[in-house]
Amino acid sequence: MPSYDFEVWQGDRALHSVKGVELERPADAWDCVGNLVTRFDAPGCRIAVKDESGDIAILVGARAAKQMLAARVG
């Protein structure tokens, strides 16, 4: 099962990271992004999701992610 790293950034400063999260499908990363944006939604925060090779799979602002996830549920 592939693993992904999740990082929360504000400007050039890393605020939080979660390494080696195993996901069955890449789309499952959005659940983890949703958990992070409940904690980190200050202006300028962004979430980076990197795959096993270190390439960025998702890069999204925390507030934009929150709006996208709310629209997906509602």
Tens of pLDDT along 12-58?
999 999 999 999 998 899 999 999 999 998 899 999 999 999 999 99
Sign of CA dihedral 45, 56, 29, 71: positive
- What does pTM read for this prediction? 0.90
Which residues face 45 on adjacent strands?
10
- Give long-range contacts, CB 8 A cutoff, 24+ apart: 24-27: 26/2, 26/51, 26/57
